[in-house]
Amino acid sequence: MEADEDLLIVRKIQAGDVDAFDALILKYRERVYSVIYNLTSNREDASDLTQDAFIKAFQSINRFKGKSSFFTWLYRIALNTTLTHLRKNKLRRFLSFEKMADEDHTAGFIENMTSESDSDKAALMNELQEKLNDAFQKLSVKHRTVITLFEIDGLSHKEIADITGTSIGTVRSRLHYAKQFLQGELKDYLR
Amino acid sequence: MPSQKPTPEAEERLSQLLRIKRQERPDAAFWNKFDEELRSKQLSALVCTQSWYERLGKMSLVVARRSATATAVISVFALGIFSVSQSEFFANNNTDKTQPVLAGESIAQDATNQSPLFIVEDSFIATLEPTEPVFIQTIDAQPLYEIHTLTQRASSSSYSINAATKQFTVGGLTNNTSLGAKVIRTGSQF
């Protein structure tokens, strides 16, 4: 099981094998980065905050007792690091977007929206990315966190509740609100 | 808050749209740079050097956090002991300073601190009820005082009478013996 594998690695690190931490970085760096990026909509900040989260996890690995999974613990650290950053930089925020990877799913969605040329599709894709990120940033941090973890990272309600330290009911309620809000903001792209 | 209720189709469409955000992924070059920076930060964290005042500050914080309960318990004990000692101190001092001199006190002042304390209650014969036991003798219509020996305990509010009643007059002791103790007086006559 994944959690057991992680715990074995953690025990190795706790026993002094610090290089074993690389395996955990390699395993989770993209997911942690993705969550932080979708919360900040800034790729440079996301990169720094992801590194900070891993460093914090590394420094406090001896305090990890295995009561929750390593993944939940790491996500909590990443979220707290990001929330602290967002609170501190409330007034000087700017967005910088990540490149869109070419994937069948994305292409299919754009294909449905327009039958124009490739250049128009690329422009539409850029516009859509901007609108999506703008709409995300209009959400409160707690709603943004829940929708990111559910829709983009694909976590369950229970996992999100564990990470955010709330109840499943609260997660559902926040998710419902966030979806309604985004539907209103992105209605032009949902027809 | 938006008022429209999302239909399942609209929700599915929104989910598809949001999945586009999954494609916002950095390339390999980004991860190379990321790994390099992270490695460097990790090494810095391993050999992190702090100035003595930073370490002292952090250590004090940790000690304060960990010993909060113990400190609280010790403080309560210390406060309790202090209160008790203070109250005894005041009890002794009040007797010495605020009470006027009583007949036979010169004898009592010779007594050491370890001597038993006496409590003296003034009582005029005239004020006694006829039914009260007559243990105060009238000598030339002088007022008599009854004396009880007290044992001082830990608390100022806790005394017990452990000796038989003695009697003396304002002018001196009736049986010409030393009281051999401090005298604490009560009653309006003093």
DSSP bridge partners of B169: B144, B172
The DSSP-derived string for chain B is: ---PPPPHHHHHHHHHHHHGGGGB---HHHHHHHHHHHHHHHHHHHT----HHHHHHHHHHHHHHHTHHHHHHHHHHHHHHHHHHHHHHHHHHHHHHHSPP-TTHHHHHTS-TTSPEEEEEEE-GGGS-TTS---S--BTTB-EEEEEEEEE-SSTT-EEE-S--EEEETTEESS-----SEEEEESTT-
Q: Which residues of A touch B15 (CB under 8 A)?
A: 151
Co-location of A8 and A94 in the same domain = yes
pLDDT tens figures, A11-33: 999 999 989 999 999 999 999 99
The DSSP-derived string for chain A is: -HHHHHHHHHHHHHTT-GGGHHHHHHHHHHHHHHHHHHHH-BHHHHHHHHHHHHHHHHHTGGG--SSS-HHHHHHHHHHHHHHHHHHHTSSS---BPPPBPP-HHHHHHHHHH--S-HHHHHHHHHHHHHHHHHHHHHS-HHHHHHHIIIIIS---HHHHHHHHTS-HHHHHHHHHHHHHHHHHHTGGG--
Which among A98, A131, A163 is the end of a domain? A98
Q: Which two tokens stand for residue B34?
A: 């990321």
Q: Which of B7, B11, B21, B43 to mutate to test the interface with A (most CBs of A within 10 A)?
A: B21
Which among A35, A70, A98 is the end of a domain? A98
End-to-end CA distance of chain A: 42
Q: Which residues of B touch A177 (CB under 8 A)?
A: 1
pLDDT tens figures, B75-130: 899 998 888 877 755 555 554 444 444 444 443 444 344 455 555 554 444 344 44
B12 touches chain A (CB under 8 A): no
d(CA A87, CA A39): 12
Co-location of A6 and A76 in the same domain = yes
Would residue A103 count as lying in a domain?
A: no
Residue ranges per domain, chain B?
47-98, 101-186
Would residue A157 count as lying in a domain?
A: yes
B7 touches chain A (CB under 8 A): no
The Cα of B27 is separated from the nearest Cα of chain A by a number of Å equal to 8
pLDDT tens figures, B58-67: 778 878 877 8
Would residue A69 count as lying in a domain?
A: yes
B19 touches chain A (CB under 8 A): yes
- Do A37 and B24 count as a contact with CB atoms less than 8 A apart? yes
pTM for the whole structure: 0.60
Residue in chain B closest to A59 (alpha carbons) equals B45
Residue A62 sits in which domain range?
1-98
In this predicted complex, what is the ipTM?
A: 0.82
Checking if the pLDDT of A121 tops 90, the result is no
pLDDT at B173: 46
- Asked if A139 and A178 touch (Cβ cutoff 8 Å), the reply is yes
DSSP bridge partners of B119: B148, B184
Q: Which residues of B touch A54 (CB under 8 A)?
A: 38, 42
- Do A97 and B24 count as a contact with CB atoms less than 8 A apart? yes
Co-location of A23 and A85 in the same domain = yes
- Asked if A172 and A88 touch (Cβ cutoff 8 Å), the reply is no
- The partner residue sitting opposite B14, judged by closest CB among A43, A52, A182, is A182
Q: What is the CATH number of the domain that holds A165?
A: 1.10.10.10
pLDDT at B190: 36
Portion of chain B with pLDDT greater than 70, in percent? 40
Q: What is the CATH number of the domain that holds A9?
A: 1.10.1740.10
